[in-house]
Amino acid sequence: MKYAIIGTGAIGGFYGAQLANAGEEVHFLLNSDYAIVKEEGLHVISEVYSDIHLEKLNAYQHAIDMPACDVILVCLKTTSNASLLPSLVQPLLHSGSVIILIQNGLGVEADVAAMFPGVGVAGATALVSVYKVGPGQMHHLDYGDIEIGNYNVQDTTIIDKVVAAFDNTGLISRKAEDLNTLRWKKLVWNITFNGMCVVLNTTANKLLADRATYNLSKEIMHEVILGANACGAALPESMVYDMLQFTIAMRPYAPSMKLDYDAKRPMELKYIYENPVAMAKAAGYYMSKVDMLLQQLLFLGKY
């Protein structure tokens, strides 16, 4: 199959390099990094897996120059979807193409499906710690799992093939039984630690080293689980403890929203906070602590 990577940043560069290194045909769309990557290739320096240097790769600066692809992996921040996706994805589509959104948040698949009527859309969550450290250079700290959930793809065998391709890279890859549950599961972590790290100007490991913010983190995670289950997800209360222990064991790093805020880039508030608060409230449960966190983030985003 032919893969397109839309957004060759930390996430797109990491997963695209893994697929290409395993022998898949991958076409990378780049913006400011294009000239350097075309000349020097793509580098992934990993603390866990073998380093990857793609000396020669299919690199493009304009989507119109790319071939039609079977699988379009969208790795942009959701803040760019409305303005960029129509022009970036449309040239890559053929009658059987599938769009897979390796993005965060709730409700993103519905909005993208509305942009491309008749095109199959799926969502994916990535459990990975990776940074872009330079043009075409990614530093991978930990993990790499990817899980894919179907939204409206009719022939789901293509999702099975994508999962198998990621398995072939050595990463852990899964097909989720339910996209809604998959999205809420990731939100338990993202809502808690992305927002708190921005508001308190810190990192997740420091939050969990302090008793007060450890307890607050736990309370917010419980609240998200209640909101998720009101919306038809099936998340056990036990995942709070498991996720806290997982976070404590992680290599210290700043979540993506903290990096965006520090770099004065827009924060992904619509899909990570606004939609979940609104959907849970419509289902009969008000996530009051999450809403308070949202209001603080909206304030910070203005200044």
Q: What residues are annotated to the active site?
A: 186
- CA torsion 147→152→154→157, rounded to 10°? 0
Q: How far is CA 296 from the centre of its chain?
A: 23
Nearest-angstrom CA–CA distance, 229 and 249: 27
| Longest pairwise C-alpha distance within the chain | 55
* Cα 207 to Cα 140, 186, 200, 244, distances in angstroms: 22, 18, 9, 11
Backbone angles phi, psi at 290, to 5 degrees: -65, -40
Tokens of 283: 């289902």
